[in-house]
Chain A
Amino acid sequence: MGTLTPFLLTPFTEIWGSPVFFAEVVLTGLLTGVMYSLVALGFVLIFKASRVFNYAQGIMVLFAALTLVGLMEHGVPVWLAIGLTIVVMVGLAVAVERLMLRHLVNQPDIILFMATIGLAFFLEGFGEMVWGSNVKELNIGIPDNPVEFGGILLSSFDIIAALTGAVMVFGLALFFQKTAIGRALRAVADDHQAALSVGIPLKTIWITVWSVAGVVALVTGIMWGAKSGVQFSLSLIALKALPVLILGGFTSVPGAIIGGLIIGVGEKIAEIYWGPALGGAIENWFAYMLAMVFLLFRPQGLFGERIIERV
């Protein structure tokens, strides 16, 4: 029984013992979760519109951040730099559509997935060649002051990040549900050829979606980059997004958010309270295990579409 105590007993007594600390842990987790959600959002957008799992989303985050920092280092003022970066991301979307997506219409999903991995490699090399590969600091003037909230310590930065995330999600959800373009995007996700045959301009749709994903990547890049510096590890976020998508469903915008929050909180709690018993660094795999267990009971995620197979 002695070996099980750290697992079954201690964590709960610790939680019970200092609820304020627990609340802080939960909040930190939530805020990390918002970051995850932002990344997952980029994935959902592209997946929703084209059934492509864009592995390069992580690199796009890095690339956007690198471009922004690079421009700022050359003396470009913040707001202009952001605007220019958005232009670059749109340019990237156009290039991707023209050089890659157009030629892979109706290929099986795994081929498209592999192509995005190729894209990721390319962007990584390209970004680092142009802007250099050392860690960069990103400061666009978001205040990072401690804020007290009912006895719990937060930073204003985190709050702003959370709000930004919330606004983005809300806006995107509306976009998909209410607008004609949103409908067209959903049609494209279902069947490329069918969408073409009813006159939906595939090309425009894809450019639109990838551009929006690019902007989401930029926002994500700003948030993550400001927190922990702009560096290569930013691109590995792509892999973290997978468990988020599993939980939330690959095609659901609200799902990406909720999934991100759950993973963020879950990870933090597991690391703080169960981590010491297991030697630490549980965060490496906890999210995936959680996702896997989830998959066994609800394969389509919380909000994903039920997969019905017919013969």
Chain B
Amino acid sequence: MLYREAGQFKTSYAADQAIFPIRQDRWFVAAVLIVAYVGVPLLMKGREDYLYQAVLIPFLILSLAAIGLNLLTGYAGLLSLGTGAFMAVGAYATYKITTAFPELNIIAVFLLSGLIAAAVGIMFGLPSLRIKGFYLAVATLAAQFFILWLFNKVAWFYNYAPSGTITAPPRTVLGIEVTGPHATAEVRYLVVLAFVTVFALVAKNLVRGRIGRQWMAIRDMDIAAEIIGIRMLPNKLIAFAISSFYCGVAGALYIFCYLGSAETEAFDILLSFSVLFMIIIGGLGSILGSILGAAFITLLPVFLTNAPQLVGLGMRADLQKHFEFMIFGSLIVVFLIVEPNGLARLWQITKEKLRRWPFPY
């Protein structure tokens, strides 16, 4: 009886095209936002940072990357295995810019690095005009390996540090430390949360409008799309650009607000695969799905690490790792069999059932 649309009539197209047309959805999202921005920090005051550091911050950052990849692969249908590399571009660009111009506002630097990542994305996206599907994935793999090699070999990128790592220098926004060793987990969490909120909204706007439709048209049947007047070149390149922008910003946040420092290994092919899993399990072609998928993939290892203790079974660390892999792998297969459209579709089905509850149909 709770979730009913009865009585909610849309009297304008604008209302019909809103992101959350049903009133209960709007309340729900408002509640989630309040919990996220206010509830969590209150809850976490005075407690140790584990929840932030191990769960929330990586989840949010990876949601951002997942949204980026979903725009490219889920909406535009261009398979990319180079997410890690584009994230690396964002991270290293931020590092270089902020060490060269320490006075620049770090938020601006993040966005600037996103633009640089977008440019790189366009470059490696050019082959998509001639090649599709798996073949395109190879081009993105080329990006993945080449870019990481570049950042490894050319010492200029890590300012000639002997260890080869880049470290986030302390930076402040409005007097509060947001990066560096003294930035509190709470502050970093809020910064990342703000980014994700804004970027998710922007992504949703893009996909419900003309460009989202153009991407989906290209994905579903590019020949027909071209015939009705949708041009391949600008649309595909914009997809790469925007997707890489998102991944670049996510990469910058990954180092600056999460890890603190890293080498290129942090952005290796395993990360690319992780993000791809997120959008497949979460749901291709769904912004919500990207976020749900990121939650799933971030939480799973945490769960698997801690669950045995909770149930009273201790396990040797390496045996645990093997177990994790096995469970992870099986879950993916099971998921793909049961619901290939991902968590987002499961969520949709739940809502549809809720609409009718307590009636079966």
| In contact, A295 and B130 (Cβ under 8 angstroms) | yes
Whether B149 pairs with A284 at a CB distance below 8 angstroms is yes
User: What's the tally of chain A residues with a CB closer than 8 Å to chain B?
Assistant: 46
* Contact between chains at A285 and B336 (CB < 8 Å): no
Of the stretches B109-117, B171-179, B316-324, the one at the interface is B316-324
A309 contacts B by Cβ under 8 Å:
yes
Chain A residues near B142 (CB-CB < 8 A):
285, 288-289, 291-292
Cβ contact within 8 Å between B227 and A239? no
Describe B's contact surface by its main secondary structure: helix
A100 B337 Cβ-Cβ under 8 A: yes
Whole-angstrom distance between the alpha carbons of A156 and B127 in the complex?
Answer: 42
Residue total for B at the interface (Cβ-Cβ under 8 A): 45
Cα distance, A103 to B336, chains bound together (Å): 9
B15 within 8 A of A: no
Residues of A within 8 A of B148 (CB): 284
CB distance from B133 to the nearest CB of A (A): 8
A120 interface residue, CB < 8 Å from B? yes
Residues of A within 8 A of B134 (CB): 53, 109, 113, 242, 250
B-side contacts of A114, CB under 8 Å: 276-277, 280, 332, 336
Q: Are B340 and A281 in touch, CB under 8 angstroms?
A: no
**Distance (Å) between the CB of B85 and the closest chain A CB?**
10
Residue of B224, B227, B277 with highest tally of chain A CB at under 10 A: B277
Q: State in angstroms the CA–CA spacing of A250 and B138 once bound together.
A: 13
B154: A residues at CB distance < 8 A: 279
Mark contacts of A98-142 with chain B using CB atoms, 8 A cut-off: 1 yes-contact digit, 0 otherwise.
Answer: 011001100101110111011111111110110001000000000
Distance between A245 CB and nearest chain B CB, rounded to angstroms: 8
B142-164 with Cβ < 8 A to chain A: 142, 145-146, 148-149, 152-154
Question: Are the CB atoms of A289 and B325 closer together than 8 Å?
Answer: no
Is the CB of A4 closer than 8 A to any CB of chain B?
no
**A1 sits at the interface (CB 8 A):** no
A114 to B137, CA, bound (A): 13
Q: Which residues of A contact B145 (CB under 8 A)?
A: 284-285, 288
Question: Which A residue's beta carbon lies closest to that of B77?
Answer: A110
Query: Of A110, A115, A284, which contacts B332 at CB under 8 A?
Result: A115
Residues of A within 8 A of B87 (CB): none
Cα distance A126–B223 in the bound complex, in angstroms: 44
In this assembly, does A299 line the interface, its C-beta being within 8 Å of a C-beta of chain B?
yes
A311 to B321, CA, bound (A): 49
Over the window 229-269 of chain A, the binary record of Cβ atoms lying under 8 Å from chain B Cβ atoms (1 yes, 0 no) is 00000000001001100100010000000000000000000
B273 at the interface (CB under 8 A from A): yes
Q: Is the CB of A246 within 8 A of B337?
A: no
Q: Complex: how many Å from CA A284 to CA B319?
A: 31
Q: With contacts A114-B277, A129-B323 known, is A121 near B224, CB below 8 A?
A: no
Q: A120 to B135, Cβ gap below 8 A?
A: no
- Whether A281 and B333, one on each chain, are in contact in the complex, defined by CB atoms closer than 8 angstroms, is no
Is the beta-carbon distance between A309 and B223 smaller than 8 angstroms?
yes
CA A145 – CA B318 in complex, angstroms? 38
A-chain residues with CB within 8 Å of residue B141 when the two chains form the complex: 239, 242, 288
Question: For B319, what are the chain A residues with a Cβ–Cβ distance below 8 Å?
Answer: 129
What CA separation (Å) do A100 and B335 show in the bound complex?
11
Known interface pairs A110-B79, A285-B142, A285-B145; A115-B336 also in contact (CB < 8 Å): yes
On chain B, the residues within 8 Å of A296 by CB distance are 127, 130-131
Within 8 Å CB of A243, what residues of B? 138
Are B322 and A126 neighbours in the complex by a CB distance under 8 Å? yes
B296 at interface, CB cutoff 8 A:
no
Asked whether any CB of chain A lies closer than 8 Å to the CB of B326, the reply is yes
Separation of A21 and B324 alpha carbons in the complex (Å): 48
Assess A292 versus B139: contact at CB under 8 Å? Given A117-B273, A126-B326.
yes
B73 CB to closest chain A CB, in angstroms? 9
Chain B 327-345 interface residues, beta-carbon cutoff 8 Å to A = 327-333, 336-337, 340
Q: Report the minimal beta-carbon distance from B71 to chain A, rounded to whole angstroms.
A: 16
Residue numbers in B under 8 Å from A115 (CB-CB): 332-333, 336-337
| A174 contacts chain B at the CB level, 8 A cutoff | no
Q: For residue A103, which residues in chain B have a CB less than 8 angstroms away from its CB?
A: 337
Q: How far is the CA of A113 from the CA of B328 in the complex (A)?
A: 16
Whether a CB of chain B sits under 8 angstroms from the CB of A278 is yes
Q: How far is the CB of B280 from chain A (nearest CB, A)?
A: 5
Residue among A118, A126, A311 with most chain B CB within 10 A? A118
Q: Tell me whether B269 is interfacial, beta carbon within 8 Å.
A: yes
The contact of A119 among B137, B138, B329, by CB within 8 Å, is B329
Given contacts A100-B337, A125-B322, A279-B153, contact A311 B138 (CB under 8 A): no
For A239, the chain B residues whose CB sits under 8 A away are 141, 269
Given contacts A122-B330, A285-B146, A291-B142, list 18 more A-B pairs with CB under 8 A. A100-B333, A107-B340, A113-B134, A114-B280, A118-B329, A122-B328, A125-B326, A126-B326, A242-B141, A250-B134, A280-B153, A285-B149, A288-B142, A289-B146, A292-B138, A295-B135, A296-B130, A299-B130
What are 22 contact pairs spanning A and B, CB under 8 A?
A: A119-B329, A119-B333, A120-B329, A121-B326, A125-B321, A125-B324, A126-B325, A242-B134, A242-B137, A246-B138, A280-B153, A284-B145, A284-B146, A285-B149, A288-B145, A288-B146, A292-B139, A295-B127, A295-B130, A295-B139, A296-B127, A296-B131
State the 3 A-B residue pairs at the shortest beta-carbon distance, nearest first: A125-B325, A122-B329, A118-B332
Which residues of B line the A interface, CB within 8 A? 79, 127, 130-131, 133-135, 137-139, 141-142, 145-146, 148-149, 152-154, 223-224, 227, 269, 273, 276-277, 280, 318-319, 321-333, 336-337, 340
Residues of A within 8 A of B (CB): 53, 99-100, 103-104, 107, 109-111, 113-115, 117-126, 128-129, 133, 239, 242-243, 246, 250, 278-282, 284-285, 288-289, 291-292, 295-296, 299, 309, 311
